[in-house]
Structure 1
Amino acid sequence: MNPLLSRLQPYPFERLRQLFAGVALPADYSPISLGMGEPRHPTPPFIKEALVSSLGGLASYPATAGEPRLREACAAWLHRRYGVTVEPTAHVLPVNGSREALFAFAQTVLDPTGGDAVAVCPNPFYQIYEGATLLAGATPYYAPSDPARNFAVDWDSVPEAVWQKTQLLFVCSPGNPTGAVMPLAEWKKLFALSDRYGFVIASDECYSEIYFQGEPPLGGLEAAARLGRTDFRNLVSFTSLSKRSNVPGLRSGFVAGDAALIKAFLLYRTYHGGAMGPAVQGASIAAWNDEQHVTENRALYRKKFAQVTPLLAGVMDVKLPDAGFYLWARVPDALGMTDAEFARALLAQYNVTVLPGSYLAREAGGVNPGAQRVRMALVADTEECVEAALRIVQFIQSRT
């Protein structure tokens, strides 16, 4: 058995199940879950139709590199969305969702033979960053987010000695769970660090199409191009259809960036068996080529957040995020509760599930930057999300 498996932490939702064990649910309240970040808006019919119409491809093995039409559709989307020009065969590779791609990419990039390989990730973070690092035989380093700066990651807190050992840097913009978007100045800093120390940047951008202001979030490739880095040196971005197009069960996305890294990743995936099925490719082509359903999806999220955020802001420290579909709310000090105690008591009293923020972070330097916060995924319909918010308000008011 691989001994590195013993280094993995319990997944947040396993911890949540343990936290809720033995809770007697109130019969007079229907269950509402804001815990899991799983899109629940309907899948557009045309994507389903494209999936069905592509079933004829099941008779053939797919190429790991994907159909040329799919890579071209991804490249065209990058140009429309970010204004960047990429060569589909050199800079783009389809993947079975960003989750598996992030994990596999770490196995491709990290070299543990020296015994001191490091991957830096934000804290709190998407748990795959840590798991991928550990199973690659490397050590994760957690850079904390700063609530005073819109939850920007404090990259300056990373010691010189850590940067010297860093081989991979995970960034998440828009952030999970914070919703924070990295500005161009922050990208410029990270590119300079990458040039100095030689590490690769993996940019997780799966929430890029859910935003609340007029200006869409800046992407990693876009930032690189603006700064004259048109070869995307040491940068790969990860994009997914799950949130954008409401197809989490499709497992489809793509990576794009540095041609040398894409070539190495293709080699890894050829042996790993990471080819995308033909029917999924057909549905993905249809999804990437259409923006109307994305605009409609974004409008649904904007409506929800516009109604829910003010309700909760009256009793909690929470504000509209830059992007994404999470609220990152602070547990009121007056309650005298930890974030886990808050989540358990809320479930017991009002049958609403939220995720303790401490489950999404690691203690570093004696501090868990997710502690005393809860993540709320506004993925249900507007009526259900508003009802959940009203129950949370009642819960807090009943205890203060």
Structure 2
Amino acid sequence: MNPNLEKLQAYPFEKLKRLFAGITPNPDYSAISLGLGEPKHATPQLIKDALVANLNGLANYPSTNGIEGLRVAISNWLAQRYNIPALDAATQILPVNGSREALFSLAQAVIDPSKNSHGAPIVMCPNPFYQIYEGAAYLAGAEPYFANANPAKNFAPDFSQIPEAIWQRAQLLYVCSPGNPTGAVLTLNDWKELFELSDRYNFVIAADECYSEIYFGETAPLGSLAAARALGRNDYPRLITLSSLSKRSNVPGMRSGFVAGDANIIKQFLLYRTYHGGAMSPSIQAASIAAWNDEQHVIENRALYVKKFSQVTPVLQEVLDVALPDAAFYLWAGVDKHLQISDTEFAQGLYRDYNVTVLPGSFLAREAHGINPGSNRIRMALVAEVEECMEAAQRIAAYTRQLMQAQ
């Protein structure tokens, strides 16, 4: 077996299962989970109709680069969403089976273990982070290096303190904007810094933007492709953007997304995926076209999140260190400011006393530069309906007040 498999840590939800082992939740309360970031809103009927109408596609082998109609639909959506010229659907866009598998497989295609003479290649990751980044690095023969979230930058990763010797070994940088779990959105200045570093050290940027359509203000989050165009990087050198229909359109089970950007990388990634077996079902492609071509269901979906966050956040702000994020569907809350309790202890007690599941922030991060930036924080995924999220918030507030009174 590949010895790098031994470097992989248990997924956060496996750690959560072990954390809760032997705990019996209070039977007076129904179970509510804010732990898993799985969309719970209804799948739009137009997507289901398109899928059913194209079931004959199951009789055909799909091509790895997808049908032209899907690539054109994605190109049109990108142009409208980010106010940029349409990307070349033939050379700059590639459908993928959800952004998760593409985030992983991109590292396998990009990393060259023989390229560095000063040690293993580096894959730069935000911290806290989506654990696929770390696993992709290890299994590509690289080492992950973590840029800790900076509370002063609304928990965006701070790349300014990374040593020159590390940048010299960097071959791939993952960045998530809007961020998981913090909801932070990178600014144009942030992107400018990353592009300049990419130019200087010749690494690829993988911009994970799967939460881009869930936001709370009037202005949609800036995307990496739009930032590149604004800075005159019209061919998107060393930039690959990844997005998905899972959160935008409430279809995580469809496993449908895309990568877009640098045509040279797309060409090589297509070659890799031809062997990797990354072709999307023709039926799923048809349903994906319907999804990318319709914006009304996205507006309605976003309104549900705005309603939830506007009601839940004030309740939790009374007892926890939490603020409305820039975007995404998570609340990233501090629990130790007044409570003197760890994130894992908080999660255990909340589950035991009120049957609410949240994810300890330390499970989403690694100790780096002397700290685990997720420690003493919790992630709450507000994916259920408004009433259930409000019930969870009220139970969390009651549990937190219970802890305060016990001190």
- Normalised TM-score (structure 1): 0.99
Amino acid at match of 2:16: L
Give the corresponding residue for 2:98.
97
Is it true that 1:33 corresponds to 2:33 in the alignment? yes
Match of 1:356 in 2: 360
> For residues 337 and 80 of structure 2, what CA distance do their matches in structure 1 show?
45
CA positional deviation for 1:220:
0.4
State the shift of 1:153 in Å.
1.2
Distance (whole Å) between structure 2 residues aligned to residue 140 and residue 238 of structure 1: 19
5 Å-filtered alignment, 1:240-251, equals 240-251=244-255
Name the counterpart of 2:18. Answer: 18
1:311: how far off? 0.4
Q: Does 1:88 align with 2:92?
A: no
* Aligned amino acid, residue 215 of structure 1: T
Q: Percent identity, please.
A: 64
2:320 — aligned with what? Answer: 316
Determine the structure 1 residue equivalent to 2:390: 386
Deviation at 1:333, TM superposition (A): 3.1
Letter in 2 for 1:209: E
Q: Report what 1:108 is aligned to.
A: 109
Counterpart position of 1:147: 151
Are 2:231 and 1:219 aligned?
Answer: no
Q: For each residue in 1:76-108, what CA deviation from the matched residue of structure 2 results, as whole angstroms up to 9, or x when unmatched?
A: 000010122210011000000000000000000
Q: Deviations over 1:150-171 (max 9, x none)?
A: 1121110111110000000000
1:118 to 118, 122, 144: 122
How do residues 186-225 of structure 1 correspond to structure 2 at under 5 angstroms? 186-225=190-229
Query: Which of 129, 135, 141 in structure 2 is aligned with 1:137?
Result: 141
Alignment match of 2:131 (pick from 127, 130, 153): 127
Judge conservation of contact 2:321–2:337 (CA < 8 Å) in 1. no
Report Cα offsets for 1:222-247 as digits up to 9, x if no partner: 00001110100000000100000000
- Check if 1:370 corresponds to 2:371: no
Q: What amino acid is the match of 1:300?
A: L
SS at match of 2:205: strand
> SS of the counterpart of 1:233?
coil
Give the Cα separation in 1 of the matches to 2:331 and 2:308: 11
- Unpaired runs of 5+ residues, structure 2, are none
TM-score, normalised by the number of residues in structure 2: 0.98
Matched, 1:62 2:62: yes
Give the CA deviation at 1:336. Answer: 2.0
C-alpha distance in 2 between matches for 1:258 and 1:31? 46
List per-residue Cα deviations over 1:41-80 (Å, max 9, x = no partner).
0000110010011111111110000000000000000001
Letter in 2 for 1:235: L
RMSD of aligned alpha carbons: 0.7
Q: Which residue identity is paired with 1:132?
A: A
Instruction: Verify: 1:172 aligned to 2:176, yes or no.
Output: yes
Structure 2 match to 1:231: 235
Distance 1:296 1:334 in 2: 38
- What letter is aligned with 2:18? Q
**Does the 8 Å contact 2:156/2:179 carry over to 1?**
no
| Separation of aligned partners in 1, 2:278 and 2:74 | 18
**How far, CA to CA, are the matches of 1:40 and 1:132 in structure 2?**
28
- How many residue pairs get aligned? The number is 400
SS of residue paired to 1:112 = coil
| 2: CA distance, partners of 1:169 / 1:149 | 19
Q: Distance in 2 between matches of 1:21 and 1:213?
A: 40
Q: List alignment gaps of at least 5 residues for structure 1.
A: none
Task: Give the whole-Å Cα distance in 2 for the aligned partners of 1:7 and 1:87.
Answer: 39
Paired AA for residue 31 in structure 1: A
Give me the whole-angstrom Cα distance separating, in 2, the residues matched to 1:3 and 1:127. 19
Of 300-309 and 335-344, more deviation after overlay is shown by 335-344
- Counterpart Cα distance in 2 of 1:82 and 1:314: 37
Match of 1:298, SS? Answer: helix
Report deviation, 1:330: 0.2
Q: Which amino acid aligns with 2:164?
A: E
- What SS does the aligned partner of 2:71 have? helix
Structure 1 Cα separation of the partners of residues 373 and 294 of structure 2: 38
1:2 to partner: Cα distance: 1.0
1:351 offset after TM fit, Å?
0.2
What's the counterpart of residue 46 of structure 1?
Answer: 46
